[in-house]
Amino acid sequence: MRNAAGYFLPGQCIPLGFQTRLLMRAISPIVLLLAIPLCTIVFFYCRHGRGRGTRGRWLSDALSFAAPFDLFVSFVLCPTVSKGIFDTWDCSEYELDGATGEVRTFLNADLQIVCSGNDHPEEYDKIKNIANFFLLIWPIGMPLMYMLVLFPSREALRQGRRTRMVKATAFLHKEYKPTFFWWEVVTLSQRLVLTGWVLLIPIENDAWRICLGLLTTIGYLSLIQFVQPYTRNGFNTLAIAAQFSLVCMFLGGTFIKLFSGDGGDDSSEDSVFTIVCIMVAFNFSLLILYATLAAHQFSTSSVLPSVRLVATGQVLSIYLSIYLSIYLSIYLS
């Protein structure tokens, strides 16, 4: 129980250390993803042995039943597990000697581990080698896997056919237009860039982390405004508003970084506090504005069915629509 509880504590507080916790965070989800199809196969095999279910196809039925759960669980866990892997490069810089300007960086998740500034970083190099291996599985491998399972279903999605693979991957594409069935992978990639890939930039060049995050958010905002991949206009509006708020957050981080480099006097601290207050107020106002617009749109939307002309597609007036609806209901009865 001590080790299990220590998994959720900072590495410097437990004897296991960051390397063990990194292995646990990266391997335990893989064990779970393997256990789901194995348990499903055992269940279907027992049913097959008792004469229940489809004989001769129990293995394919078991895999078809387990595949959607496996994909969904991996999709949910991918950002969290990837963030735990990227924590390997999340270091903080400390000044050792003000006269010489000597600095040393330490791992935030375990301050006993030195990232740079010492002559023998063997322990940290070993941790980075482990993290580099799991980068290929989670932040790189999982988005590629989602594309590989979505790509063969592209024609079925465009034609509106409900194949077995389309149903298994419905959580990835059901909210998007058939042309943009792959958009969830783009969204996931942006999350991985903002929460993980930026950490690969050394802490000495932390300003470039903010720059990369800002460019990523602005690029995605421009892209989603132009494409509007969701089937519902309300989702497109919500995505644009959330992305615009994210861009504002990175702009605020840029200004905070700018004022924080002025020497750390009282005026710079006041400026940073002012920027934080402006960011909070702006994002809160944006949230209220969107909620008000959404409520207005919902209250003014007509609950009655509209009637369109076949030739022009123009919506008739509300009174004419009601009249035709009543007339058709009486005529058909």
CB 71 within 8 A of CB 168: yes
Number of neighbours of residue 97 by Cβ within 10 angstroms: 9
Which residues lie across from 97 on neighbouring strands?
102
Sorted by sequence, the CB contacts under 8 Å of residue 304 that are 6+ apart come out as: 318, 321, 322, 325
The C-alpha angle 155, 158, 162, rounded to 5 degrees, equals 80
Q: 5 is written with which tokens?
A: 């509880």
Mean residue pLDDT across the chain: 80
Euclidean distance between CA atoms 190 and 197, whole angstroms: 10
Quick check: helix, strand or coil at residue 159?
Answer: helix
CA neighbours within 13 Å on the CB side: how many for 29?
A: 23
CB 107 within 8 A of CB 115: yes
Residue 71, amino acid: L
Query: Over the stretch 285-298, which tens digit does the pLDDT of each residue have?
Result: 777 777 776 676 66
- How far, rounded to the nearest angstrom, does the alpha carbon of residue 201 sit from its chain's CA centroid? 20
Q: What is the pLDDT along the chain (333 residues), one digit of tens a residue?
A: 334 434 444 445 556 789 999 999 999 999 999 999 999 888 888 877 776 655 557 777 788 888 889 999 999 999 999 999 999 999 988 887 767 767 888 999 888 899 887 766 788 999 999 999 999 999 999 999 999 999 999 999 988 888 888 988 999 999 999 999 999 999 999 999 999 999 999 888 888 999 999 999 999 999 999 999 999 887 888 888 889 888 988 888 888 877 776 555 666 677 777 877 887 787 777 777 777 766 766 666 544 455 555 555 554 444 444 544 555 455 454
Query: Over the stretch 248-299, which tens digit does the pLDDT of each residue have?
Result: 888 888 888 777 765 556 666 777 778 778 877 877 777 777 777 667 666 6
Euclidean distance between CA atoms 67 and 60, whole angstroms: 10
Q: What is the pTM of this model?
A: 0.78
Query: Over the stretch 231-240, which tens digit does the pLDDT of each residue have?
Result: 988 788 888 8
pLDDT for residue 215: 93
Q: 147 is written with which tokens?
A: 């594309």
Euclidean distance between CA atoms 125 and 131, whole angstroms: 10
Sorted by sequence, the CB contacts under 8 Å of residue 93 that are 6+ apart come out as: 103, 104, 105, 203, 204
Euclidean distance between CA atoms 328 and 189, whole angstroms: 51
Query: Over the stretch 5-38, which tens digit does the pLDDT of each residue have?
Result: 344 444 455 567 899 999 999 999 999 999 999 9
pLDDT for residue 216: 95
Q: Of 142, 241, 229, 234, which Cα lies nearest the Cα of 180?
A: 229
Euclidean distance between CA atoms 300 and 282, whole angstroms: 27
Q: Of 126, 191, 184, 177, which Cα lies nearest the Cα of 150?
A: 184
